[in-house]
Amino acid sequence: MLRHFLQFKDLSRDELLYLFDRATLIKSRFKQYQPYHPLADRTLAMIFEKSSTRTRLSFEAGMHQLGGSAIYLNTRDTQLGRGEPVEDAGEVISRMVDIVMIRTFEQEIIERFAAHSRVPVINGLTNEYHPCQILADIFTFIEHRGPIQGKTVAWVGDSNNMCNTWLQAAEVLDFNVHVSTPPGYEVEPERANLFGTDHFESFVDPMDACRDADLVTTDVWTSMGWEAENDERLKDFADWQVDAEMMAVAKPGAVFMHCLPAHRGEEVTAEVIDGAQSVVWDEAENRLHVQKALMEFLLLGKVDA
């Protein structure tokens, strides 16, 4: 059966736990320089309508390491930028490659592409969600602190694609998210596509959101596509900077995460992101390993090799 990964809840809890185990194995083989080429002769098309460092690198290197190849396409150099319907692009691109990753604006665009695709489609970030990043974040948490079930994640800042995806993940994997956003930037449960509010709680004061958290995380104040609001956001978010005081009210063993790129002095202080509780470099590296497990799963199903 054709499977896509367009939002976090497209995978069940069992499938996610399988993926995390698989990522552990794939990572360990990679660290031991053991070749592993289950996707020999397979091709990944990567379509970027927004900038990227980590997503491009991790998908391209990951596909290569699995024995396949990757092709980079962007809006500017393709007919997508000249108005070719996304449905037509889905039909054509999916006849020539085995799997597609897309980074774009509205979630609706990737859904329309997937509806016309013969091959699996992966969301490499939309305005609404960033599911590959949350796969890497949860995998990183498990590596450092064990199972995430029952734990508390504090989200400080914008209710953006990362926040929405954390909220979805909390429902699938049964943990809690404490959210604090400035007034006017609150979570929209419908946009986050949540079943209910059992797994998240909103806090006016970011210090209250961080209290007793197992993981404190944030993201840029201005996401790609919202650049026109940057000056206003710099003022509105000034009190939502993750700093040492916020980390001090979290659990003593709490970790700090940021999907990167980061702006030290805005959403996080240098002291926190470069400090002992920060796991941001492992988090970035783990994009590679979890996405290799994801591509393997979408193309080959569960394997025990």
**Interacting residues toward ligand CP by CB under 6 A:** 52-55, 125, 133, 259-260
CB of 194 within 8 A of CB of 218?
no
Active site residue 287: yes
Residues at the interface with ligand NVA (CB under 6 A): 125, 160-162, 219-220, 223-224, 259
Minimum Å gap between C-beta 54 and ligand CP is 4
Kind and range of the H or E element at 99?
Answer: strand 99-103
Minimum Å gap between C-beta 191 and ligand NVA is 14
Active-site residue, from 22, 42, 56, 130: 130
Active site residue 178: no
Task: State the alpha helices, DSSP H only, in the chain.
Answer: 13-31, 54-65, 86-96, 107-115, 131-145, 161-173, 189-192, 206-210, 230-236, 244-249, 270-273, 280-300
Q: Which is nearer to ligand NVA, 62 or 68 (CB)?
A: 62
Active site residue 130: yes
Active-site residue, from 22, 54, 56, 103: 103
181 class by beta-carbon count within 10 Å (0-12 exposed, 13-18 middle, 19+ buried): buried
Q: Beta-carbon neighbour count of residue 129 at 10 Å? A: 26
Minimum Å gap between C-beta 296 and ligand NVA is 23
Q: How many residues does the chain have?
A: 305
Active-site residue, from 42, 54, 287, 289: 287
Active-site residue, from 137, 168, 259, 291: 259
How far is 64 from 93, CA to CA, in rounded Å? 19
Active site residue 95: no
Q: Which is nearer to ligand NVA, 94 or 161 (CB)?
A: 161
Catalytic residue ranges? 103, 130, 133, 219, 259, 287
